[in-house]
Structure 1
Amino acid sequence: MVIDIQTFMLALGVGNVAFALLMACYMHGAERSLALRDWMWARLACGLGECAWWIAPRMGSHVFEVFALGVWIGGVLLEVAAYCRFFGFRSLWRLMPVPIGIAIVTIGCALFAGASRTQMTAVVGGLIAVYTFNASVVLLDLRKKRTLLERIIGVNDVLYALAIGIWLVVEKGANAGGTTVIGGLAYLASYLLMIVTGFGFLLMCKQRDDRQMQRMATIDSLTDALNRRAFFERAESARQLTLRLRKPLALLMLDLDHFKQLNDNFGHACGDQALRLFADTARGVLRDPDLLGRLGGEEFALALPGTPLEGALQAAERLRVTLSQAVIDCAPTYRMSVSIGLVMVEPNEELTAALARADHALYAAKTGGRNRVEVGPAIFKSA
Structure 2
Amino acid sequence: MNFHIPTAMLLTAITTLIMGLSLAFTVTDYPRALQVPIRQWVRSLLVSPFAFLLFALRERIPDWASIVLANVLLIVSTTLLVQALRSYNRLGSLRAWSVANIVITLAAVSVMTYVWPSIAGRTLLVAGQLAVLFVFGIAAIYRPADQVTNPERMVASFLVVGVLVMILRMTYASDPLMTTLLDSTPMQSIVFTYGALMPVIATSGFLLMCGQRLNKDLARLATLDPLTEVFNRRTMTDLANKAVAASKRHGRPLSLLILDIDHFKRINDEFGHEAGDLALCRFVELVREMLRSSDVVARIGGEEFVVLLPDTDQASAAVLAERIRQHLHATEFTVSGWPVPLRVSIGVGSIGPEVSNLESLLREADHAMYEAKRTGRDRVVLAADLRAASKSES
TM range (shorter): 0.7 to 0.9
CA distance in 2, matches of 1:62, 1:120: 13
- 1:163/1:186 contact within 8 Å kept: yes
Counterpart AA for 1:377: A
CA distance in 2, matches of 1:195, 1:46: 13
After TM superposition, the structure 1 = structure 2 runs for residues 283-298 of structure 1, keeping only pairs within 5 Å, are 283-298=288-303
Q: 1:80 aligns with which of 64, 79, 82?
A: 82
- 2:5/2:56 contact within 8 Å kept: no
CA distance in 1, matches of 2:221, 2:123: 47
Counterpart AA for 2:27: M
Q: 1:359 aligns with which of 363, 366, 373?
A: 366
Summarize the Cα distance change of 1:103–1:67 in structure 2 as closer, same or farther, 3 Å threshold.
closer
Q: 1:188 offset after TM fit, Å? A: 4.3
Summarize the Cα distance change of 1:265–1:21 in structure 2 as closer, same or farther, 3 Å threshold.
closer
SS of the residue aligned with 2:299? strand
**2:241 is matched with which residue?**
236
SS of the residue aligned with 2:381? strand
Q: 2:350 aligns with which of 333, 336, 344?
A: 344
| Worse-matched range after superposition: 358-367 or 263-272 | 263-272
Q: 1:375 offset after TM fit, Å? A: 2.0
- 2:236/2:298 contact within 8 Å kept: yes
Counterpart AA for 1:62: D
Q: 1:323 offset after TM fit, Å? A: 0.9
Q: 1:328 offset after TM fit, Å? A: 1.4
Give the root-mean-square deviation of aligned CA atoms. Answer: 3.3
- 2:43/2:80 contact within 8 Å kept: yes
Q: Write out per-residue CA displacement over residues 315-344 of structure 1, whole angstroms, 9 at most, x where no aligned residue.
A: 222211111111111275554321111112
CA distance in 1, matches of 2:168, 2:371: 76
Residues 1:9 and 2:14 are matched in the alignment: no
Residues 1:194 and 2:207 are matched in the alignment: no
CA distance in 2, matches of 1:88, 1:316: 37
SS of the residue aligned with 1:16? helix
CA distance in 2, matches of 1:269, 1:31: 22
Q: 2:311 aligns with which of 306, 310, 318?
A: 306
CA distance in 2, matches of 1:36, 1:144: 23
CA distance in 2, matches of 1:19, 1:166: 28
CA distance in 2, matches of 1:155, 1:29: 28
**1:255 is matched with which residue?**
260
Q: 1:368 aligns with which of 375, 378, 386?
A: 375
Q: 1:179 aligns with which of 185, 203, 222?
A: 185
Q: Write out per-residue CA displacement over residues 236-266 of structure 1, whole angstroms, 9 at most, x where no aligned residue.
A: 3444454555443322111122333444444
Residues 1:43 and 2:50 are matched in the alignment: no
Counterpart AA for 2:234: R
CA distance in 2, matches of 1:138, 1:194: 18
- 1:167/1:173 contact within 8 Å kept: no
Summarize the Cα distance change of 1:45–1:190 in structure 2 as closer, same or farther, 3 Å threshold.
same
**1:21 is matched with which residue?**
21
Structure 2 unaligned runs (5+)? 388-394
Counterpart AA for 1:324: H
CA distance in 1, matches of 2:13, 2:322: 66
**1:127 is matched with which residue?**
129
Structure 1 unaligned runs (5+)? none
- 1:263/1:270 contact within 8 Å kept: yes
SS of the residue aligned with 1:296? coil
* TM-score between both structures, scaled by the size of structure 2: 0.82
- 2:86/2:137 contact within 8 Å kept: no
SS of the residue aligned with 2:57? helix
CA distance in 1, matches of 2:19, 2:362: 53
- 1:324/1:335 contact within 8 Å kept: yes
Q: 1:201 offset after TM fit, Å? A: 2.0
Summarize the Cα distance change of 1:217–1:168 in structure 2 as closer, same or farther, 3 Å threshold.
same
| Worse-matched range after superposition: 1-10 or 248-257 | 1-10
CA distance in 1, matches of 2:225, 2:351: 25
Q: 1:144 offset after TM fit, Å? A: 7.1
Residues 1:326 and 2:331 are matched in the alignment: yes
The alignment covers a number of residue pairs equal to 377
